[in-house]
Amino acid sequence: MAPAASTEPVSSATAATALSPQTWLQLMQLASPALPVGGFSYSEGLEAAVDSGRVSDEASARAWLLDQLQLALGRADLPVCAAALRAWLAGDAERLRALNDWVLQTRETRELRLQAEQMGRSLLEWLRNKNGSNSEAGAAQLALLASLQPAPSWPIAYALALAQTGAAPREALLTQAFGWAENMVAAAIKAVPLGQSAGQRMLDALGAAIPAVVDAALALGEDARQAFTPMLAILSAQHETQYSRLFRS
C-alpha cells in the first residue's frame, strides 16, 4: 500500500512511489480555483488581448491560451517549478534563492511581477495555516520560503506545496498546468465573454495539450529555460493603464 502523504520533507524515493488516494486529493486541492491565492483576479494579459481585438471569440481565446501554455508556461513556469521541486527535495536553499531570483527578474512587466509575488506570499500563508506547525522540518521549509527576497514567487512556493504531497514530478507539473488552465479559462469566460460550454471545450483542448507540454518542460535543459513572449509583455504593459479592467493583470 502506498504511504499516506504527509507534511514531512519528502525524499526522491517517496516522490517516485505510486500516488495514494490522499495524494491525488491533495493535488486536486492545489489545482482548484478555490485555493485562496487570488488566481481568479488575474488574466495574465488576456484581458488586454480582448481589449485590443486579438481575442474576440471562443476560437481565438482557445488559440491564445494554447499558445500561452506552450510558449510561456511550458518554457518558463513549468520548468522552473520542476527545478524548484528538485531543490526542495534536496534541501538546496542556494538553488531555491537562485530560482526565485530568476522568476522575478524575468517577469516582463510590473503587473506580472506583482502577480508572482502576491500569489507566492498568499500560498506561503496558506501553507502556514495548513501545516506550518506539524513538524520542525516543515517549519524550516516555510521559514526558508519566507526568507526569499524580495518575496517568494508563485512557482517556487507552489513547488514546495507540491513537494509536500509526495507526488512525482510529472503528476506535480500536471497539477500546476491544469490549475493555470482552469483560472485562464474562467478569465476568458468573463473577459470575452463566453458561455460555460465554450469554457469546457477550451478546457478540453488545453487538457489534451498539457501532458506533452509537461513532458517537454521536464526534459528542458537549464540553459533552454526562457521567458520571452514579446506580444504578451506588450499587452501586459498596456493593461497597466487600460481604461476599464476586470482583472489585475
Model confidence pLDDT, tens digit, residues 171-214: 999 999 999 999 999 999 999 999 999 999 999 999 999 999 99
Rounded to an integer, the average pLDDT of 47-72 is 96
pLDDT-derived band at 17 (thresholds 50, 70, 90) equals low
DSSP string, the chain: -PPPP-SSPPPHHHHHSPPPHHHHHHHHHHHSTTSTT-GGG--TTHHHHHHTTS--SHHHHHHHHHHHIIIIIIIIIHHHHHHHHHHHHHT-HHHHHHHHHHHHHH--SHHHHHHHHHHHHHHHHHHHHHHTTS-HHHHHHHHHHHHSSS---HHHHHHHHHHTTT--HHHHHHHHHHHHHHHHHHHHHHHTT--HHHHHHHHHHHHHHHHHHHHHHHH--GGG-----HHHHHHHHHHTT-SS-SS--
pTM of the entire structure?
0.89
pLDDT tops 50 at residue 8: no
Cell of 211: 501532458
First to last CA, the chain: 44
The rounded percent of the chain whose pLDDT value lies above 90 is 81
Cell of 65: 491560451
